[in-house]
Structure 1
Amino acid sequence: MSDLDQLTQSLARNLKRWRGERGFTLDALAARAGVSRGMIIQIEQARTNPSVGTTVKLADALGVSITTLLDYEQGPQVTIVPADQAVRLWSTPAGSRSTLLVGAETGGPLELWSWVLMPGDASSSDPHPDGTTELLHVTAGELTVVVDGTAHAVPAGASASFDSNVPHAYRNDGAETVELIMAISVPPVR
């Protein structure tokens, strides 16, 4: 089985499991996530590989991290994620990418990401649930983070935090590669 097939099977199994644990019908999850009922059925039957945006919406609606939604094995108390097993969820032909390094569920989903943005590239995100916070630290270049329509420059060595329950985006408006580490904390579903 290929890595993509394994990921598709894992997502199907975990989506069904978490939907059941939350007591959500297909229609309820579709409404919460803004994803069609038909798409959820296709994902749960492992007949499609959803976009990163769809996967994020489903994880947010279920109140779990993307790590949990994609994980095919629940590990011990200490989880070591080798570099070659980190999950790349977004990339561009220019070489920009985001990689989910590790995640946890204690007190709500918590994710640690590594991002690379090549000059001229950008990535936009829909609003996350209320109470979601993003923390980032730029290690190279200058990141432009746009939060609810306002652009903020974050140079190398600087850090930023913001409530991400509004539209937001990450851009590289400069001439050099931007590298950053990001943590996302999502409140538990109540």
Structure 2
Amino acid sequence: MTKKVNISTESGADVQTVSEAVAARLKEYRKQQKLTLDALSRRSGVSKGMLVEIENCAANPSIAILCKISAALGVSVADIVNVASSPAVHLVEKQDIPTLWTGPKGGSARLLAGTSGPNMIELWRWEMQPGETFESTGHPEGTYELLHVEQGQLRIAVKDTELLIPAGCSAVARTDVPHQYANEGKSKLIFTMTVLEPH
């Protein structure tokens, strides 16, 4: 089961700014594709009530919900949270980087940058305090994650396989199945993650 966590911020875009961007972009993409809320709900597996709340800036959707909605619309999470842009090169300023997960002990997951469109690539920076865990039900078929641990030790469980990744090491994981990240150590865990989600 995916843990429901709220969008929040840590030295980046504030909650209201991110919520407004998500609301505006969701409406924009849904209307471009001439999808009703009912149709998007069926396609994404996200309840109509939640979609209404997101479009009205009354809900802070979890990463899992943003992934489901973006996949259903054929766009990236970066498109939805307004991090992506179309120029050949562009700067994502510190204040525009959203934190899309906050752990119970202060950990965070920040979407540093991402490409537009259905064949998307995202760059994330995760910080997890000792004892923090994040669970996902899985991304669309064919999704891969590249992970590099900067500090601490990451335990990743992908379906029935577990792997410990110490500082300085990297790993590749196919994450279109249920998976979990955890910091079971005694110090802060910091890792970067690149997500490749083909259309």
Gaps of 5+ in 1: none
SS of equivalent to 1:5: helix
Task: Name the amino acid aligned to 1:149.
Answer: D
Contact 1:149–1:167 (8 Å) recurs in 2: no
Which amino acid in the other structure matches residue 150 of structure 1? T
Q: TM-score, normalised by structure 1?
A: 0.87
Which of 10, 20, 38 aligns to 1:9? It is 20
Give the 3 Å change call, closer, same or farther, for CA 24–107 of structure 1 in structure 2: closer
Q: CA RMSD in A?
A: 2.2
Deviation of 1:138 after TM superposition, in Å, equals 0.7
Q: Confirm whether residue 88 of structure 1 aligns to residue 121 of structure 2.
A: no
Distance of 1:20 and 1:86 partners within structure 2: 26
In the TM superposition, residue 177 of structure 1 has moved relative to its aligned partner by: 1.6
Cα distance between partner residues in 1 of 2:20 and 2:154: 35
- Rounded Cα–Cα distance in structure 1 between residues aligned with 2:157 and 2:83: 34
How many residue pairs get aligned? The number is: 187
> Which position in structure 2 is the counterpart of 1:164?
175
Q: Distance in 2 between matches of 1:53 and 1:157?
A: 28
1:151 is the counterpart of 2:167: no
Segment drifting more, 105-114 vs 16-25: 16-25
Query: Are the equivalent residues in 2 in contact too, given 1:33–1:61 (CA < 8 A)?
Result: yes
1:66 aligns with 2:80: no
Residue 49 (structure 1) aligned to one of 46, 60, 78: 60
Q: Give the secondary structure class of the aligned counterpart of 1:105.
A: coil
Distance 1:117 1:167 in 2: 19
> How far is 1:32 from its partner?
2.6
Which contiguous aligned blocks of 4+ residues in structure 1 show a shift greater than 6 angstroms? Answer: none
TM-score by length of 2: 0.84
CA contact (8 A) 1:63 1:187 kept: no
Is 150-159 or 78-87 further displaced after alignment? 78-87
User: Percentage identity across aligned positions?
Assistant: 37
Deviation at 1:73, TM superposition (A): 8.2
Call closer, same or farther: CA 1:73–1:99 in 2, change over 3 Å.
closer
